[in-house]
Amino acid sequence: MADILFTNVRVFDGGGETPFTGEVLVQGNRIARVTQSSPGARSQLVFGAKVVDGAGAFLMPGMIEAHTHFSWNDQPNLESIQRMPPEEHILWCAQVAEKYLDMGWTSCVGAATAKPRLDVVIRNAINDGTIKGPRYLAASQEITVPGGLGDTTAPHLPQPEFAFGAIVSGSEEMRRCVRMFCKYGVDSLKINLSGESITGMSSEMSQFTEEEIAVCVQEAKSWGKRVAAHARSTWAIKQCVKHGIEVIYHASFADEEALDLLEANKFDHFIAPGLAWLINTCHHASAWGLTPEVVNRMGYPRELEAAIESMRAMRRRGIRILPGGDYGFAWTPHGTNARDLEYFVSQVGMSPMEALLSATAWGGPMMKMGKQLGYIREGCLADILLIDGDPLVDITVLQKKERILAVMKDGEFHRAPPIRDLRTTRWAA
Amino acid sequence: MHKTPQEVLFTNARILDGSGQMPYSGSVRVRGNRIVQINRSIGSVSAGDAVVIDAAGSTLMPGMTEAHTHFSWNDSSSLAGIQTMPLEEHVLWSAKVAHRYLKAGFTSCLGAACAKPRLDVVIRNAIESGQIPGPRYLAASQEITVPGGLGDEMLPHLPFPDFSFGVVVNGSEDLRRVTRNFLKYGVDHIKLNLSGDNFVPGADAKTTWMTDAEVAACAEEVRMRGKRIIVHARSCASVKQALRHGVRLIYHASFTDTEALDMLDAVKHEVFIAPGIGILYALLNESEPWGIDRAKAIAMGYEEEWEAACQSLKAMHRRGIRVLPGGDYGFAFNPHLQNARDLEFFVKYLGFTPMEAIKSCTLHGGAIMMRQNELGLIKESFLADLLLIDGDPLAALSILRDPERILAVMKDGVFAKMPPIDQARTWGRAA
């Protein structure tokens, strides 16, 4: 692996400062040196390092997606995900993993997998080099109750293979389920604490007994695993704080008490609202039968309003809000994830700087890697993007593959910057 | 996969066209996925809009065909080691192997059996849809066998079919049902294990296992659906049984007698033999690190089979029966990507000329893939499956298994491996 010296780049280092013009040296899989240069200064060449002249491009840390479902297959419903056979499903996941890396997501946090081992296998295959993909934390299936979000069995087809989630009832079934996923090697357990309006159980409703939740968290923690919750309802959000569930997805209906609880424990939790799902289900899913009347009946516009309100309040209180929006449905296809950052600016009131930090600086602890990730600083892991344009001026440039000139993960180019090629003749031998 | 321009012109190449004629110098133009023009001259050719690849005298030959491929064999030293790999990992493994075969110059592969029911079909479909890179592929079923035969890996106290590498059937109706099931999954051919194998205790290579009624039931179903049968047939009786039932793809055929050879001779324009010579050689000579030293290999019967196979295959070759490479690669002692070694063995042990060995993986390869009118040769209008080789394979077949000598691989007009660029610049400019 050749060392790389990026010259003539505008460095956004993840610390919240205004970018500066400078150079970044990568040695092995780490950032070895970051220097600020003055206009016209000659770059300090490093013996043996390949020089990439950034021509003024924006250099930033690789982004971290906090709510990823590689196994969602860009279809309009949960049943279509479940009907994909496991062989095709694993190839699909591998393809999606590479797409995320292509789009600048050098780390992803798995938020649930559609079949028991998909996430674990993909994580292992990325780590051993079998496939290309981001750094990844593998999730379990969604653990749910009969009739809850994730129970896609039909009364006349009650076989568990038809279910998208793992269905448990009672604390001993919960314990067995958590143990099974821990045996498979997941990094986190996903528990569905609230409903989801599209499934027929309203997002404001909750499920599971406190005893079941306690068993899930206790068993997961005794295995050293993290718990993440689908928690749209007020009760569910509060349960997360009460039981120490670190990752709270959605958190749409946060009342004052919930906000106070979150604020009081703000370094113990991450919030990933998944706004993309709400926004696109409300406004861009008519082609799939989710017309304004239908989504109104389901209650999504009201939830979207509540969620925006909740996120604005959380932002004001300094609670960490991270991007990752349930991508992988027909109207939220994989690869468009950077829209979340746009929504953070346009809906939640973040500055572009805050939105960028939510995808970088807060991603390190979300990946359980502290400050090694998410910064362009000496000693940090070399996950680096080179952007054509300035995301601080126009956050949407991060949605366009052609504007992401290069993606480096762990010191290696996944996508090398395009080289201006004057020659059309190639010489073999 | 690399993006390839619409038109590519290989100039200054030594063209080994795969038909058996001696190489000549010239240029080859590819447009889309076809070879559109061949010039037998080193004079300059107008490039037009084509990207020019100056071959600088290297050899341009058709992509090779592997006639006996097991993507799902996982370089393990036992059949159980293949079977204990979980399904998800197995798919990703197979995908990785498919890509490696392509980069190694095998632009077509004929699946010889997969280890779990749908692996081959899924990999073929993923290649065809462009989801993963890989050779042209014909998908096989699992090995269909009978209790106790090659492929029955169930232990007496663990009689669960999932432990088994093959599908274990009993009786013609059982075989019919299993055949229909694989046809439903979309295989291109059904694999039957007619003979035993020295690797399996109690079912050595000279034994024959299936009843005619069982084979007939499978043959009837397969014919109705327009598919093929491929057979594992090491014993003499199994070779004859295969021919009696109209099977035209025979693997191994180690033990033959005059009657078997005459039967093969009678259908020599239809039948293909892929002996899998690589694994016999490896087990007899190179498998000590995995607990099979020469004495053990001889006790297992590999010396006897090696000698018989050399005799049988030499005789077949003399009679003009097509013998193709593909050697059961995918075991620890016979790992993937050594496949082109078969060509060297053909020359060294079976009396092939190097040109005949080349033909066995080009001209005959197109035929076994059932595309002899458009695949396997460098010929105008043929599919652009091409290799650029540094050196002369006719002088040293071993260069065909040296990744550094395989300068470029093109499949269907698209580079799977780009020719290296003589690089003058060491730094790139972004934007």
Does residue A83 sit in the same domain as residue A160? yes
CB contact under 8 A, A91 and B122: yes
**CA dist., res. B272 & res. B364, Å (int):** 9
**Structural domain contains residue B322:** yes
Answer yes or no: do B228 and B145 share one domain: yes
Q: Helical H runs in B40-118?
A: 79-83, 87-103
Model pLDDT, residue A2: 78
B408 — contact with chain A (CB < 8 Å)?
Answer: yes
How many domains, in total, are found in chain A? 2
Same domain, A344 and A389: no
pLDDT above 60: residue B423: no
Q: Same domain for B149 and B32?
A: no
Supply the pLDDT for residue B430: 58
Distances (CA, A) of A318 to A272, A313, A358: 14, 9, 12
Residue B431 reports pLDDT greater than 70: no
Question: What CATH number is given to the structural domain containing B42?
Answer: 2.30.40.10
In a domain, B319, yes or no: yes
Q: What are phi and psi of B31, to 5 degrees?
A: -125, 130
- For residues A45 and A79, membership in a common domain is answered with no
Q: Residue B388 in contact with residue B59, Cβ under 8 Å?
A: yes
Query: Three-state secondary structure along chain A?
Result: CCCEEEEEEEECCCCCCCCEEEEEEEECCEEEEEEECCCCCCCCCCCCCEEEECCCCEEEECEEEEEECCCCCCECCHHHHHCCCHHHHHHHHHHHHHHHHHCCEEEEEECCCCCCCHHHHHHHHHHCCCCCCCEEECEEEEEECCCCCCCCCECCECCHHHCCCEECCCHHHHHHHHHHHHHHCCCEEEEECEEEHHHCEEEEEECCCHHHHHHHHHHHHHCCCEEEEEECCHHHHHHHHHHCCCEEEECCCCCHHHHHHHHHCCCCCEEECCHHHHHHHHHCCHHHCCCHHHHHHHCHHHHHHHHHHHHHHHHHCCCCECCCCCCCECCECCCCCCHHHHHHHHHHCCCHHHHHHHHCCCHHHHCCCHHHCCCCCCCCECCEEEECCCCCCCHHHHHCHHHEEEEEECCEEEECCCCCCCCCCEECC
* Residue B424 resides in a domain: no
Query: Do B278 and B348 sit in the same domain of this protein?
Result: yes
Residues whose CB is less than 8 angstroms from the CB of residue A76 and which lie 6 or more positions away in sequence, other chains included: A285, A288, A289, A329, A330, A331
**Residues A26, A155 within the same domain:** no
Do B29 and B86 lie in one domain? The reply is: no
Residues A408 and A279 in one domain: no
> Looking at the structure, do residues B189 and B296 belong to the same domain, yes or no?
yes
- Do residues B196 and B115 share a domain? yes
My answer on whether B290 and B406 are in the same domain is: no
Q: What is the pLDDT of residue A428?
A: 55
Helix (H) or strand (E) holding B30: strand B24-31
Of all residues in chain A, the percent with pLDDT exceeding 70 is 97
Whether A224 is in a domain gets the answer: yes
Note whether A69 and A181 are same-domain residues. Answer: yes
Q: Do A253 and A397 lie in a common domain? A: no
One domain for residues A209 and A335: yes
pLDDT confidence of residue B127:
98
Task: For residues B68 and B161, state if they share a domain.
Answer: yes
Same-domain pairing of B360 and B410: no
Which of B299, B296, B276, B273 is CA-nearest to residue B286?
Answer: B296
Q: Quick one: CA dihedral B415, A128, A323, A150, positive or negative?
A: positive
Sign of the torsion formed by the C-alpha atoms of B37, B43, B48 and B49: positive
Sign of CA pseudo-dihedral B415, B126, B181, B191:
positive
Size of interface A-B (CB pairs under 8 A): 119
The reply to whether A214 falls in a domain is yes
Domain membership flag for residue A422? no
| B1 occurs within a structural domain | no
Report yes or no: B159 at the A interface, CB cutoff 8 Å: no
Assess whether pLDDT exceeds 70 at residue B429.
no
Note whether A119 and A143 are same-domain residues: yes
Range of the domain at A402: 4-62+374-415
Whether residue B214 is found in the same domain as residue B323: yes
Tokens of A8: 């003539």
CB–CB of A50 and B427 under 8 A? yes
Residue B327: per-residue pLDDT: 79
Residue B255 forms part of a structural domain: yes
Residue A420 lies in a domain: no
Q: Which candidate, A233, A409, A410, places its Cα nearest to that of A306? A: A233
Strand partners, A32: none
**Residues B341-381 pLDDT 10s:** 999 999 999 999 999 999 999 999 999 999 999 999 999 99
**In angstroms, how far apart are the furthest CA atoms of chain B?**
72
Nearest to A90 among B88, B428, B430 (CB): B88
- Report CB contact under 8 Å: B88, A54: no
- Indicate the number of domains in chain B: 2
Interval B138-186: pLDDT, tens: 999 999 999 999 999 888 888 888 888 899 999 999 999 999 999 999 9
- Asked, for residue B429, whether it belongs to a domain, the answer is no
Q: Is residue A427 part of a domain?
A: no
Q: Between chains, do B430 and A386 touch, taking CB under 8 Å as contact?
A: yes
Whether residue A54 and residue B431 make contact (CB cut-off 8 A), yes or no, is: yes
- What is the nearest CA distance from A254 to chain B, expressed in angstroms? 39
Whole-complex ipTM: 0.85
Domain assignment of residue B396, given as a range: 7-63+376-417
Residues A55 and A172 in one domain: no
A121 and A22 part of one domain:
no
Q: How many angstroms separate the CA atoms of B64 and B113, rounded?
A: 19
Of the candidates B312, B295, B313, the one whose C-alpha atom is nearest the C-alpha of residue B356 is B313
- B279 & B320 share domain: yes
| pLDDT tens per residue, range B3-29 | 566 899 999 999 999 999 999 999 999
d(CA B334, nearest CA chain A) in Å:
21
HSE of B10, CA atoms in CB hemisphere, 13 A? 36
The answer to the question of residue B426 being in a domain is no
**Mean pLDDT, residues B303-327 taken together:** 97
Looking at the partner chain, which of B54, B425, B431 has a beta carbon nearest the beta carbon of A55? B431
For the stretch A275-305, what's the b/e string if a residue is b when 16 or more beta carbons lie within 10 angstroms of its beta carbon?
Answer: bbbbbbbbeebeeeebeeeebeebebebbbe
Find the length of chain B: 431
Are A17 and A90 in a shared domain? no
Task: Tell which residue, B185, B156, B181, has the closest CA to residue B167.
Answer: B181
What is the Cα–Cα distance from B17 to B378, expressed in whole angstroms?
A: 5
pLDDT tens track for B195-253: 999 999 899 999 999 999 999 999 999 999 999 999 999 999 999 999 999 999 999 99
Beta sheet of B64-69, edge-to-edge order: B64-69, B106-111, B136-138
What does the pLDDT read at residue A332?
Answer: 96
- pLDDT at position A38 is 76
* Percent residues over pLDDT 90 in chain B: 87
Residues B357, B396: one domain?
A: no
- Other C-beta atoms closer than 10 Å to the C-beta of A97 total 24
Write down which residue in B311, B345, B368 finishes a domain.
Answer: B368
Structure tokens at A403: 């504007």
In the stretch 27-56 of chain B, residues with CB closer than 8 A to chain A read 51-56
CA distance B283 to chain A (A): 28
At residue A424, what is the residue type? T
Q: Which residues of A touch B56 (CB under 8 A)?
A: 427-429
Residues of chain A where predicted confidence (pLDDT) is lower than 50 = 421-424, 429
How open is the CA angle A120-A122-A128, to the nearest 5 degrees? Answer: 100
Last residue of a domain, one of B330, B352, B368: B368
Residue A328: alpha-carbon gap to chain centroid:
12
